[in-house]
């Protein structure tokens, strides 16, 4: 689980998007955030709700800082959308320890559902 999620920007995308089944879907949102957590084998969880979303379409993650990492020299982060986990790595080797800070840009269904047509 992420130790902290700090939302830096929330942009509502009016009139955009589709549901998982391909039907038009209003209420899409793009979030920019900084996520901090303890690196662990298999990554640490990051749920849509922690980002203020009900479902995540795509996440772009980049490693910002690492303290006490093992192995050292972490170089990246990726998001496993099936397991809903952020995975940090060093040249392909997954980090198993250390405190990491990850920049995240996520797009998905808004928890606010600002443009609900229902």
Round to whole Å and give the CA distance between 9 and 18. 22
* CATH number, domain with residue 103: 2.60.40
Rg (CA), the chain: 15
Q: Quick check: is 21 in a domain?
A: yes
| Nearest-angstrom CA–CA distance, 102 and 88 | 9
In a domain, 116, yes or no: no
Mean pLDDT (whole number) for 7-24: 82
Examine residue 115 and state whether it is found in any structural domain, yes or no.
no
Determine, yes or no, domain membership for 93: yes
In-domain check, residue 117? no
pTM of the complete model: 0.80
Answer yes or no: is 16 within a domain. Answer: yes
Domain carrying residue 105: 4-110
pLDDT digits (tens, 9 = 90+) for 74-100: 578 888 888 888 888 876 788 877 888
Total domain count for the chain?
1
């Amino acid at each position: 689980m992420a130790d902290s999620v700090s939302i830096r920007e929330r942009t509502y995308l009016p009139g955009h998007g589709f549901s998982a089944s391909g039907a038009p879907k209003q209420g899409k949102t793009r979030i920019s955030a900084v996520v901090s957590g303890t690196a662990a084998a298999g990554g640490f969880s990051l749920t849509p709700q922690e980002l203020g979303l009900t479902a995540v379409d795509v996440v772009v993650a980049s490693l910002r800082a690492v303290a006490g990492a093992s192995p050292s020299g972490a170089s990246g982060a990726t998001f496993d959308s099936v397991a809903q986990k952020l995975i940090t790595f060093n040249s392909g080797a997954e980090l198993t320890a250390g405190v990491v800070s990850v920049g995240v840009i996520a797009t998905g269904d808004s928890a606010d559902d600002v443009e609900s047509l229902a």
